[in-house]
Amino acid sequence: MRSLLQFRLRNPLVWILAVAAGLRLAGLFWGLPASDGWDDDGFAPRNFLTALALTWKQGSYFTYPPLHAILLMVPALPGIAIALLQAPSFHQADVIGEFTKPGFMTYFAVLARLASLAMSLGIVWTVGEMARLAAGGALGGSRTAPIKNATASESHSSKARQAGLLAAGAAALNFGLTYYGQVSNLDVPYLFWGMLALLWGMRAVVEQQVRRFWGAALFAAAGIATKDQAYALFLLSLPLFLLLWFAADRWPRRHASAIAGVLLPAMALALILLLLVDGAVTNPSGFARRIAFLTGPASSDYAAYPKNWDGVRGLLMDVAAWFGTGPAALASLLALAGLFLHSLRTADRGVWVAGLLPALAMLSFTLCFNFIALRSEARFLLPQSVLACVYIGIAAAWLMSAARRWVRLGARAGVALLALAALHLDTAVSAAMLMDPRYDAEAWMRAHVQPGDGIEIFGQNAYLPRFPPAARVMRPGLRPVATRNPLPGVTEIRAPYDSPLPARFIVVSDWWLSQYSAPGGAWRGHRPRVQAALLADERARRYFTALRDGRLGYRLAHRSGPAAAPWPQVHIHESLNEAILIFERAP
């Protein structure tokens, strides 16, 4: 055991994974303990229980597939059992009331965040393995024309390992992966399974072991059964990958029957398992309603660009800005250089094709999801940014092993500076979580809110701070109370926003408030339908504009804003680092 530990500690990948894990610990207890989480669109602490309840209920459906809910249920079983035993009865209201207590919700949230952390580390490892496999061809060598001497072989193997480590390091410092690797959103879990599917496909080709296509098919099904958009990773990439393999390499043509004998049953079994898990077999009507929802309002209502060539051009401009600004610009250049270098090294055709699979998956996701859903937020560019790390590792390894000493030294200095810049952005994510403006708002309310004071709140749970237990908290809105995500101690009221309530304070997120007073997010006049509906509500717009301007008998008593320098202001999601406004009724 001591020798094994020493061996592990000498492995640079262990330290890369340790740094990645450290960057993801800040969000483990972000906003906890609480009855709900601050991770907007998070799958826990509540949604995974809802997914379990609705997926197989006849005629019902949940937005996301249930695989991750099933996986989370296993470690959550002790908390589920205790909550059921402590509930006054098995009536739905009593069960929900017990489950939504802060203790159980905190337990479920931490479990889900730990799962995301572990899966994000798995993604880092997978990226390193992809780069190592691709660099085996990109940096020289061939199975059919082996390297002639042991020294050259050892040097080639060392370069491939270096490319894998550099790619893993780039993934560990990936900005989007750092945030989503510590919250309960499904973006990291589905990408984890998708990356494994791509890696197993690369291994099947590089090692000429067609049985690995079984793993690729099952991992791909697991990704889609976690979040439907995973389909976009494979829809174009895998057919093109197989076509290139057969066109470029003689080996698959000679073994076509054996490959078909694995691919066809593997794809059939993966499809059957996917339909079983998704509820298509046991709950066909609910499954059909879910697909209709996903292809209808779930995508069209949130499309950030118009469905025309102007919209496509706007999407491409925003994608280019995301990957072409700051440290991301240099990382993008390295990725393009790595892809170019790999395309030139064609001594081993199988390895050459395998090394193109990450690029094909990037293209497939862009065309089959981004161009269809017309979305370009950070989480919808996460697959491309993570897969690009494969080629970043290849380019960095090539530069750092160049024949000229000045090139090697310059490359090492440049990579080190780029890593420090990426680390600075990653620590800004941690700082935003550790110094979330809501903590300051909570401290202010503890000091100023008296027992029995009324607090009127607006917005979803993920945008709100926690409130003093002795206060009377009210949340008005036109949405039916039964369909809301409840918070213990909050009285839900079905009434217009401007209904007079006995509240001394009004608490609202500045981002949520701005939806009614600012046209942000529009591109050439286009707004998502959900935002257009908010701006069309003239009554609400007048009310919230008057509230912000101090014309409702309330004054701005306190503003809790994001932390100041030395960290840049990060706003990767609507519930991270947004200011909280506290209005107090004027005397």
Cβ atoms of 204 and 196 within 8 Å: the answer is no
Q: What is the pLDDT of residues 331-370, one digit of tens each?
A: 999 999 999 999 987 678 999 999 999 999 999 999 999 9
Residue 147 pLDDT > 50: no
Phi first, then psi: what are they for 145, rounded to 5°?
Answer: -130, 80
In whole angstroms, what is the distance from residue 356 CA to residue 240 CA? 10
Residue 139 pLDDT > 50: no
- What is the pTM for the complete model shown? 0.94
Q: So what's the pLDDT on residue 310?
A: 87
Please give the angle made by the CA atoms of 390, 200 and 173, to the nearest 5 degrees.
Answer: 30
How many CB atoms are closer than 10 A to CB 14? 12
Joined together, the tokens standing for residue 127 give: 């990226």
Whether residue 476 is preceded by a cis peptide bond, meaning omega within 30 degrees of 0, is no
In whole angstroms, what is the distance from residue 115 CA to residue 71 CA? 9
- Region at 243 (left for phi over 0; alpha for psi -120 to 50; beta for the rest): alpha
Q: What is the pLDDT of residues 152-201, one digit of tens each?
A: 556 667 889 999 999 999 999 999 999 999 999 999 999 999 999 999 99
Q: What is the pLDDT of residues 441-450, one digit of tens each?
A: 999 999 999 9
Joined together, the tokens standing for residue 98 give: 């017990």
In order, the DSSP letters of 136-201 are HHHTS--SSS--SSHHHHHHHHHHHHHHHHHHHHHHHT-HHHHHHTTS--SHHHHHHHHHHHHHHH
Cβ atoms of 369 and 229 within 8 Å: the answer is yes
- 């099947």: which residue's tokens? 204
- Residue 145 makes CB contacts below 8 A (sequence gap 6+) with 347, 348
Joined together, the tokens standing for residue 500 give: 């007079």
Joined together, the tokens standing for residue 387 give: 């897969």
Arithmetic mean of pLDDT, 5-31? 88
Which 8-state DSSP code applies to residue 577? S
Joined together, the tokens standing for residue 88 give: 């006054």
Q: So what's the pLDDT on residue 145?
A: 44
Q: So what's the pLDDT on residue 138?
A: 43
- Region at 31 (left for phi over 0; alpha for psi -120 to 50; beta for the rest): left
Lowest mean pLDDT among 90-104, 181-195, 206-220, 385-399: 90-104
How much is the CA Rg of the chain, to the nearest whole Å?
26
Arithmetic mean of pLDDT, 319-328? 90
- Average predicted confidence (pLDDT) for the chain: 90
- Long-range Cβ contact pairs of 272-278 (< 8 A, separation 24 or more): 273/218, 273/221, 273/225, 274/221, 274/224, 274/225, 277/65, 277/66, 277/67, 277/70, 277/225, 278/55, 278/65, 278/66, 278/225
**43: exposed, middle or buried (C-beta count within 10 Å: 0-12, 13-18, 19+)?**
buried
CA-based torsion, 266, 267, 268, 271: positive or negative: positive
Residue 204 pLDDT > 90: yes
In order, the DSSP letters of 196-210 are HHHHHHHHHHHTT-T
- Region at 40 (left for phi over 0; alpha for psi -120 to 50; beta for the rest): beta
In whole angstroms, what is the distance from residue 505 CA to residue 474 CA? 10
Which 8-state DSSP code applies to residue 554? E
Q: So what's the pLDDT on residue 140?
A: 41
- Residue 457 makes CB contacts below 8 A (sequence gap 6+) with 464, 467, 473, 474, 475, 490, 506, 507, 508
Q: So what's the pLDDT on residue 525?
A: 59
pLDDT interval class at 533 (50, 70, 90)? confident
